[in-house]
Amino acid sequence: MSAIDKAKSLATRLGALVAAPVEFRGEVTLRLLEPERIAEVCTIARNEFGYNMLIDLCSIDNYGESPRWTLVYELYCMAEKAHLRLKTEVSEEASELPTVSGVWPTADWHEREAYDMMGIRFRGHPDLRRILMWDGYPYHPLRKDFPLAGKPTELPEVAFTKPAPLEGGPFVTVAGGKDAGAREPRVRNPET
C-alpha cells in the first residue's frame, strides 16, 4: 500500500478528527483538528496502521498568529516503508498537549526538547525537564520573540558564576549580511 493510500485509510478511520490527507512532492501530511486527542490518534496509527516508529517531533513558532505553535510528528511504517507527517496546532494560552511517550518511548527526548526550546508542555510526560538548557534557565530560546543576540542574565551557581554568555555568545548570528558566511560568529570573532 502506498503512503497516500495508507494515509487515506487512516483518515477514514479517524473521521472528523483529521482533515483530508495532503500529498506534496511525495510526502503525505495529515492535520489533526483536535490536538487533545494526539495520543489516541498516535496509538491508532501505531496499532492499526503499522506506524511503529516516531522519527521526529518538532515545533514551529507561528509568532503573531493563532494558534501560536504547530507540532509536527514524523511517523514511519517500517514494514511498508511508508512515511506520514502528522500536524496539529496548540495555542499560546493552552501550550500543552498530552504526551505520546507511552506510544513511542522515543518521544521522551523530543518532547523534552520542545518544552525546553519553545515552552510547550506535555501532560503525563514521565520526566518533563530541560534537556539542552540548564535547570532554572528562565527563557525558551527558539521562540521567535527571543532576541537573536540573546538576553543577558545573572544566574548564580546554576551554570556559571559570572554572567551567562548569552548576548554575543559563540552561537549568535546576525541578521542580514551579504551571505551566510558573513553572519557566522567565528568569522566576525576569529579569536573564539
Preceding omega of 67 cis (within 30 degrees of 0): yes
DSSP 37: G
Instruction: Mark 82-116 as b/e (b = at least 16 C-beta within 10 Å).
Output: bbbbbbbbbebeeeebbbbbebbeebbebbbbbbb
- Give the tens place of pLDDT for each residue, 68-109: 999 999 999 999 999 999 999 999 998 899 999 999 999 999
Q: What is the pLDDT of residue 136?
A: 80
For the chain, domain boundaries? 3-135, 147-192
The better pLDDT of the pair 17, 1 is held by: 17
CATH class of the structural domain 3-135:
alpha beta
> Angle 40-33-65 (CA atoms, 0-180°, nearest 5)?
130
93 CB-side CA count, 13 A? 3
Long-range contacts made by residues 123-132, C-beta under 8 angstroms, separation at least 24? Answer: 123/96, 123/97, 123/98, 123/99, 124/39, 124/98, 124/99, 125/99, 125/101, 126/99, 126/101, 128/99
- Give the tens place of pLDDT for each residue, 148-183: 777 766 655 555 445 455 555 555 666 666 776 666
- Give the tens place of pLDDT for each residue, 15-38: 999 999 999 988 999 999 999 999
Nearest to 108 by CA among 76, 83, 74, 131: 131
Sign of torsion over alpha carbons 163, 159, 60, 99: negative
Q: What is the pLDDT of residue 175?
A: 64
The better pLDDT of the pair 188, 48 is held by: 48
d(CA 57, CA 14): 21
